[in-house]
């Protein structure tokens, strides 16, 4: 879970307008129904205008398949991962980033133990609080200020952020690891679905954007 009082305003491709309110707690469960929307931080493609992007990829996330123009934070990055256990998408993404992106060996259990002892809360039951997610992540990872997804990916830095879920007042932690330069689509790892997906970057809720530059 993540605590927040942010109000999210988003447009869908059919009705063109939809409002959501992210309330007190965010549970990290995947979304299957939400329509993606245009975002203020849309990845700029090389050969497609913003107007074309707006009509082409403001849809539901699609399971990633290799395409010409794909750019990743690391070559040969695994497109699948071990499926997360309930409420553990933050810690499972941290393990994926540590092991697969940066070549580390830290097990997810170390993150769970640290969070439990430091914040007196079990992330497997309570999730991770929005108040603590940045200090929690930065205890284990080097980070830098977020500018946009494209510049982060070009610098080989994945970005931890969130997407909506089917459960009321909830969201789900994911890791943006790439984009396609021809379509502008963002590519992210979803720990609940255990594989990568492609979508317009405006789909991300962006309650946080944590740029990971290395491990400590």
Tens digits of residue pLDDT in 14-44:
233 333 332 233 333 333 333 333 333 445 4
Supply the range of the domain harboring residue 140: 2-215
Q: So what's the pLDDT on residue 92?
A: 98
**Which strand (E) or helix (H) includes residue 23?**
none
pLDDT, mean of residues 128-151: 97
- Closest by CA to 201, choosing from 149, 141, 134, 142, is 149
CATH number of 174's domain: 3.90.70
Of 55-64, 136-145, 165-174, least confident by mean pLDDT is 55-64
Name every residue whose Cβ is closer than 8 Å to that of residue 76 and which is 6 or more positions away in sequence: none
Give the total number of structural domains in the chain.
1
- Per-position DSSP letters for 61-114, written without gaps between them: -EE----TTEEESSTT--SB-PPPPTT-HHHHHHHHIIIIIS-----HHHHHHH
Contact assessment for residue 27 and residue 90, using Cβ atoms and an 8 Å cutoff: no
Q: pLDDT tens-digit profile of 158-180?
A: 999 999 876 666 689 999 999 99
């Amino acid at each position: 879970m993540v605590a927040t009082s942010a109000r999210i305003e988003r447009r869908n491709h059919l009705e063109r307008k939809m409002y959501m309110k992210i309330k007190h707690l965010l549970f990290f469960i995947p979304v299957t129904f939400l329509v993606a929307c245009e975002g203020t931080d849309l990845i700029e493609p090389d050969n497609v205008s913003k107007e074309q992007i707006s009509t082409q990829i403001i849809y539901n996330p699609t399971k990633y398949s290799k395409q010409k123009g794909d750019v990743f934070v690391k070559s040969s990055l695994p497109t699948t991962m071990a499926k997360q256990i309930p409420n553990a998408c933050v810690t499972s993404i941290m393990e994926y980033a540590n092991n697969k992106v940066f070549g580390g060996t830290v097990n997810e259990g170390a993150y769970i133990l640290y969070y439990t002892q430091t914040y007196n809360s079990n992330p497997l039951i309570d999730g991770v609080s929005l108040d603590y997610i940045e200090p929690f992540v930065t205890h284990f990872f080097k980070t830098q200020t977020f500018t946009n997804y494209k510049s982060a990916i070009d610098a080989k830095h994945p970005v931890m952020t969130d997407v909506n879920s089917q459960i009321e007042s909830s969201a789900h932690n994911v890791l943006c690891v790439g984009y396609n330069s021809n379509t502008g689509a963002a590519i992210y790892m979803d720990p609940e679905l255990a594989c990568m997906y492609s979508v317009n970057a405006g789909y991300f809720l962006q309650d946080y954007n944590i740029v990971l530059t290395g491990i400590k």
